[in-house]
Amino acid sequence: MQFTPKLNNVETSIFSVMSALANKHNAINLSQGFPNFKSDQKLIDGVTLAMNSGYNQYAPMAGSLELRQAISKKFEILYNLSYHPETEITVTAGATQAIFTIISSFIKPNDEVIIFKPAYDSYQPSIEANGGKAISIALEAPNYRINWDTVKDNINPNTKMIIINTPHNPTGTVMSNNDMLKLQELTDGTNIIILSDEVYEHIIFDGEQHQSICRFKNLKQRSFITASFGKTFHNTGWKIGYCCAPKELMEAFRNVHQFNVFSVHHPTQKALADYLQDSNNYLELPNFYQEKRDIFLNLIKDSRFKFKPSKGTYFQVLEYSEITSMNDVEFAKQLTIENGIASIPLSVFYDNKLDHKVLRFCFAKTNETLKQAADILNEI
């Protein structure tokens, strides 16, 4: 028998590779993006309470209305605008599922989707699994900015979608107001859909304002937002998020969502709905994570690694060209095996394995872990 898979030559995720290596060598794992501290006990207790209160059967396909109303209210607080909880918000099994479902809802064979690399590694396989073609545009190092002239040159009648991510994983950069206006200008008068990955929406630093796509009227009407409660509330293993879009787009999304997920864990939805009633639970996150970023960078300021402070996410890129000429994959493995600290090399996110001699470190860790990691980095 012969079988023809839709995705061929898919390599093991770099996150799995580096985490496995960290486990094998008992290294401090600053590679994969998950906190090593607990989420709020109040939220954990809320899930238990919901289970004991009978929230154990299927939630509505689009998500608990109570949670969707809380999400809608959050947008009002943050941006003075919102999405209709009944027709424009859907609760998902994490942001990655939302991304895959959005792409599956619209991308057909030979459709083109513009993505910016380095990029979250689910984008391109999701496009290709649906027969689409990923058009990769490299962000311009060392500031990892989008060249909008290059974007314009790559837009053609086959362009059906553009995927953006701000704050950006893996570089920790953020898109500016001007970036969003450029995107709006380039897509006006087209049928291009925007998928805006905003999972780190609440983790932004130095007084910057998150430039959510919903703040731009002409972009909002053609766009999806994907978001993650796991990233926001330190419980990535719960795999729960949501997406927002105008009614017409959301109807198409739900046509697919109902057959590949249907509904998401009900007790967690109830707990999150209650937890979101206190807006401080997300409004205080920028200060919480900026303190961790600053602690980490202050601890390694005298090391041989060079850096520009992350503007968002809980990742920090460190440049190591003064330490070694090794390529970033080999250096990341060496640091894990010989020095006991794991990171993520950025070259793996580029089609041509472009190597800028930088590694990504996650600082969503306890202060004790950050101190231990800094002691290692300072000795290199």
State the Cα–Cα distance between residues 269 and 65, nearest whole angstrom. Answer: 9
Q: How many CB atoms lie within 10 A of CB 244?
A: 29
Quick check: 7 pLDDT over 90? no
User: Quick one: pLDDT at residue 263?
Assistant: 96
Q: Which of 212-226, 238-252, 346-360 has the lowest mean pLDDT?
A: 346-360
Output the DSSP codes for 65-119: HHHHHHHHHHHHHHHS----TTTSEEEESSHHHHHHHHHHHH--TT-EEEEEES-
What average pLDDT does the segment 234-251 reach? 97
Provide the residue ranges of all domains of the chain, joining segments of one domain with +.
14-32+284-378, 41-278
Q: What is the pLDDT of residues 282-296, one digit of tens each?
A: 999 999 999 999 999
Residue 151 has pLDDT above 80, yes or no: yes
Rounded mean pLDDT of 236-248? 97
| pLDDT at 118 exceeding the cut of 80 | yes
The proportion of the chain whose per-residue pLDDT surpasses 70, expressed as a percent, equals 100
Whether the per-residue pLDDT at 48 is higher than 80: the answer is yes
pLDDT band at 212 (very low <50, low <70, confident <90, very high): very high
Phi-psi map region of 29: left, alpha, beta (phi>0 left; psi -120 to 50 alpha): beta
pLDDT confidence tier of residue 9, bands split at 50, 70 and 90: confident
pLDDT of residue 241: 97
Q: What is the arithmetic mean of pLDDT over 312-340?
A: 97
**The CATH homologous superfamily of the domain defined by 14-32+284-378:** Aspartate Aminotransferase, domain 1 (3.90.1150.10)
Residue 353 has pLDDT above 90, yes or no: no
Residue 240's SS3 state is: coil
Amino acid symbol at 4: T
pLDDT tops 90 at residue 15:
no
Q: How confident is the model at residue 1 (pLDDT cuts 50, 70, 90)?
A: confident
CA distance 284 to 230: 16
> Would you state the pLDDT for residue 273?
98
> Which CATH number does 41-278 carry?
3.40.640.10
| pLDDT computed for residue 169 by the predictor | 96
Strands 112-117 and 89-92: unpaired
Please give the pLDDT value at position 13.
Answer: 84
> What stretches of the chain show up as alpha helix (H) in DSSP?
14-24, 41-52, 65-79, 95-106, 123-129, 148-154, 177-187, 217-220, 229-232, 247-260, 266-275, 280-283, 285-299, 328-334, 367-378
pLDDT at residue 186 tops 80 = yes
Largest CA distance in the chain: 60
Instruction: Say what the pLDDT of residue 178 is.
Output: 98
pLDDT at 248 over 90: yes
pLDDT at 33: 87
Counting Cα atoms < 13 Å in the Cβ hemisphere of 216 gives: 24
Question: pTM of the full predicted structure?
Answer: 0.95
Q: How confident is the model at residue 351 (pLDDT cuts 50, 70, 90)?
A: confident
What is the dihedral sign for C-alpha 24, 14, 90, 101? negative
Strand partners, 341: 28
Considering only residues 203 and 14, tell me which one the structure prediction assigns the higher pLDDT. Answer: 203
| Predicted local confidence at residue 34, as pLDDT | 86
Cis peptide before 142 (omega within 30 of 0): yes
pLDDT attached to residue 133: 97
| Residue 31 structure tokens | 């590679």
Mean pLDDT, the chain, whole residue set:
96
Instruction: Please tell me the predicted confidence (pLDDT) of residue 238.
Output: 96
Q: What local confidence, expressed as pLDDT, does residue 32 receive?
A: 85
Residue 79 has a CB neighbour count (10 Å cut-off) of 14
